[in-house]
């Protein structure tokens, strides 16, 4: 299967649309080794197996955005039909509907790609959370360091000259009044 389509290609085919990770019908058709038209006909024949959380059709604006962002989908630009987007569950269900050996093998790679993406996003969230904690610590450290600098500057400032009192300085109280 790796000689058919590299796993990186599968991962690049996973798009984020409407907040869901999906693959388009054209990419899945290529993976499963069938024409896109045959794939969509199989979906239409088995409509009950594809609820809204398994599959949805892109709007014209979503199609334009996908074509603009993804170079490998530029052939969809002039297609009169709107592509279908399949979630992880829809991609697996599609493999069971097509029921070919290649579709079953490819579905395993598709599931693994979705899982790797999910793990990468979880790791990314953990790193982002730790980075936010570190930023908070650094902010408090900055305040402490600034107060240290202020204290050091005060210590480094030359002392103000003491003003001497005018007159004599008597050190011994008895000698102050001429007493002996």
Q: Which residue has the tokens 């398994």?
A: 54
Alpha-carbon gap, residue 148 to 176, rounded angstroms: 47
CA distance 61 to 79: 14
Is 7-128 a domain of CATH 3.10.260? Answer: yes
pLDDT score at 3: 46
Distance in angstroms (rounded) separating the CA atoms of residues 60 and 76: 11
Note the pLDDT of residue 1.
Answer: 42
Rounded to the nearest 10°, the torsion over CA 129, 8, 78, 49 is -80
Domain coordinates in residue numbering, the chain: 7-128
pLDDT of 5-37, one tens digit each?
566 777 778 888 898 889 899 888 888 888 889
Span 134-164, pLDDT tens digits: 777 777 777 777 788 788 778 777 777 777 7
């Amino acid at each position: 299967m790796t000689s058919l389509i590299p796993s990186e290609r599968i991962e690049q085919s996973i798009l984020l649309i409407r907040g869901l990770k999906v693959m388009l019908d054209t990419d899945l058709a290529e993976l499963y080794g069938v024409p896109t038209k045959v794939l969509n006909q199989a979906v239409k024949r088995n409509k009950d197996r594809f609820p809204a959380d398994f599959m949805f059709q892109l709007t014209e604006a979503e199609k334009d955005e996908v074509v603009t962002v993804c170079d490998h989908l530029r052939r969809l630009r002039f297609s009169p039909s709107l592509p279908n987007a399949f979630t992880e569950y829809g991609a697996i269900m599609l493999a069971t509907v097509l029921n070919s050996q290649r579709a079953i093998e490819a579905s395993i790679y598709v599931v693994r790609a979705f899982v790797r993406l999910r793990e990468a996003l979880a790791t990314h969230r953990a790193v982002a959370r730790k980075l936010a904690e570190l930023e908070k610590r650094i902010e408090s450290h900055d305040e402490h360091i600034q107060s240290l600098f202020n204290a050091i500057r005060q210590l480094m400032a030359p002392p103000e000259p003491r003003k001497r009192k005018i007159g004599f300085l008597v050190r011994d109280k008895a000698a102050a009044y001429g007493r002996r």
